[in-house]
Amino acid sequence: MKRVRFILLLMLTVILLSNTLVYAEPVKMDYKEFLDKMKESYYRETGKTFDTPTPIFTVKMNGETYIVRPFFQPYKQGEKPELDDVLYENDSRLIPSYITVPVGTSITFEDASIGGDGRGIAVREWQIYFRDEDYNEYDRIITVDKTKKHTVTADREGYILAFLNVYDTFEYKGFHNWSEKGNWRTTYVPPEYINDEFQITGWYYTVENIK
């Protein structure tokens, strides 16, 4: 899962140095732990806390619209959602397929996220992976910008996995307010984003697996 996280690494370096902490090995921490440190720092300065956005998206195909949000099964507009409170990690084969479509179906993924203290969504990170029946990846789409939606085609038997995370317009000393509310957690950190002093080893997304 690729992210440009330099600003987060810079912020954490400042926090660690300000607390005069010295480590022989790189400090590993989950994004939720990092977020707690940012909230503590913000509270010390302002006496307030802040909320993160909630990554939500819709899946539109064959005249139907499903809503995908963390810790609920995808549900059609107007229907009552059912809980799926499992946090899936690392192995995407564990993610259940609640939506099944025939080959040739056009599918549109569109952001419907709710902002936190920043209200408006500033950046959306989409990761869409195409896998065949044997779960071999054969294509992918990755965007980290303002792109609101992607339309794809289920061109063969297999799986289409869509991941979304967002940050809103709230900023604090260069910190970008990414969400930690997804139902998917990945611990993979690309080598180019490993800092000598620390690394964030847990990132969160809202995910749907279409079969």
Tens digits of residue pLDDT in 81-140: 999 989 999 899 999 999 999 999 999 999 999 999 997 999 999 999 999 999 999 999
Extract the tokens encoding 34: 């990092």
Domain ranges for the chain, please list them.
Answer: 57-210
The pLDDT of residue 187? 83
**Is residue 170 predicted with pLDDT exceeding 90?**
yes
Q: What is the C-alpha separation between 72 and 146, in angstroms, rounded?
A: 25
- What pLDDT band is residue 6 in, cutting at 50, 70 and 90? very low
- What pLDDT band is residue 27 in, cutting at 50, 70 and 90? confident
Burial call 106-129: b when 16+ CB within 10 Å, e when fewer: ebebebbbbbbbbeebbbbbbbbb
